Every structure is written in C-alpha cells, then in structure tokens.
Amino acid sequence: MKIIDLSVPVRTNPGEPVPVTVKLTDHVEGAEVLGAVYGLTADDFPDGYAISTELVTLSTHCGTHIDAPLHYGPHSEGKSAKSIDELPLEFFFAQGLLLRFDSDPQRGPVSADEVAAAVERHNLTSIARRIVLLDVGAAEKWSTKEYFTSFRGIAPEAVEYLINQGVKVIGTDAFGFDQPFGNMLKNWRKTGSKDVLWPTHILGRKREYFQIERLAGLDQLPDDIPFNIACFPIRLAGCGAAWTRAVAILEDCSA
C-alpha cells in the first residue's frame, strides 16, 4: 500500500490571510501546570520533564480543509445547511478522479467545458460518488503571497456539471473555489452585480456539495492507476468547515 499526502502543513505563511498561533507549554512548564496543585515540580517527574501541550488558534479554513454547506449560507437545497460534523462520512472515502488543467490564472476560472473534456478523456461509464480532484497547478505557489492572490478558481457551471454526474465531494489545490478576492472585488466594482461575489460557493445553496480547498501533492498522483481518497473532516460541532489530512491510497488496504 502506498499513501500520498494531499495536505499542506498547518502553520502561518504568507499564503494564509489568518495567522496560526501556537502557544507551547513545554515539558518543564508542563510540570508546573500539571503538578503545581499537588506541590510537584519538574524534579518530581522522570528525567525532570512532564508532558508538553500546545494551545493553537487558527481559522477553520486554514490549510487543507473541507467546506460544509453551512459555509455557503443558512440553507442548501431548501433545507437547513449541514455543518461539517453533520456530513455523512461515506462521502469522504471513495475512489478518486484527478483532472488536470492549465494553471495560467489569466485564463480565469476553470469552465464547465474544460471539466467535461477532462472527464471524457478518462472514458468512464460513470463518475458518480467519486471524489474529484481538480489540479489547477496552484500548489507550487503554496506558502507564497501569490497563492492567495493569483490562481484559477472553478466556475459554478463546472461544479454543477460534476454534481449532475453524481459527484458530491470536489477538491482543488488552489486557495479556494472562487476567484481570488481581488478579482471578485474588481468585477463587483465594474458590474455592481451580486452574481460575481463567491458564485461557486453560493451555488452550494442551490445544489448541495462539499469542497476541499488547499490540497497538495496532486502532481504525485498517477494518471493511469486507480486510487482511493480518504479525507475525513475533523468533527468540529456546528462549524461550517474543518481541517482534513487528505490522502490518496494507491493499493487495496488489504494488500
């Protein structure tokens, strides 16, 4: 069995707009925290060390993560939008399908025609229930400022095409599914239209789907061997998103 990590490390970097903070309680300090009430010091612990802990603060959208319908709006398909802990886990372990696209951000969001052509190249009778990963060549910019400001989004029509094929979980190696914030803002200033603000996320109010953002390692995936994807979201109660350690599994687990 071979496992390919499809997630990025969680740490502050110029590609993430919200910083990650880690407050470490080290092994010596840990002794005071754990033992102070009982009069213990570090010297009372084996080797003079207690156990360490970290207090981490970060956005639910930091690093490789999954967006639940609750992120898109209060309702999805006419019902209360599901939070991340309410999503059925069956969707997050399935056969993967990797689609590769031109990475030039000047081309704008990946279109429905591009996605349809990429799917057709695989000659499959059905892609229903697969986890579809869209490689827009953004991962190589991860941890740079450009990762946040310059990438190809995915057009809502492209996502809807996949939903119509029975796909529920769709991932990208870019910062997000919609265009960079600066591009959307420019379009909004030009048109004044509500339709140019996060259109792909907002599609999720009409058609329920789950999106993985900020994937990595897609360049290591084979084009000719089938693989499974496991990308269970962390069970954050009532939240609109959660982190995932997404991986590709290249052979049967029993092998």
DSSP E strand stretches across 7-143: 21-25, 53-57, 65-67, 75-76, 79-80, 93-100, 131-135
d(CA 136, CA 88): 27
Cα-based angle 240, 242, 243 (whole degrees, multiple of 5): 160
d(CA 97, CA 238): 30
- CB of 204 vs Zn ion, minimal distance in Å: 11
Residue nearest to Zn ion (CB): 61
Q: Which is nearer to Zn ion, 10 or 249 (CB)?
A: 10
Sheet holding 93-100, edge to edge: 3-5, 247-249, 228-230, 93-100, 131-135, 169-172, 210-213, 65-67, 241-243
- CB of 240 vs Zn ion, minimal distance in Å: 8
Q: Which is nearer to Zn ion, 16 or 114 (CB)?
A: 16
Q: Which is nearer to Zn ion, 62 or 118 (CB)?
A: 62
- CB of 61 vs Zn ion, minimal distance in Å: 4
Q: Is 138 exposed, middle or buried (0-12, 13-18, 19+ CB in 10 A)?
A: buried
Note whether 81 and 73 are within 8 A (CB).
yes
- CB of 215 vs Zn ion, minimal distance in Å: 12
Residues that bind Zn ion (CB under 5 A): 61, 67, 213, 241
Q: Which is nearer to Zn ion, 142 or 227 (CB)?
A: 142
Q: Which is nearer to Zn ion, 31 or 172 (CB)?
A: 172
Report the SS3 class of residue 24: strand
- CB of 196 vs Zn ion, minimal distance in Å: 19
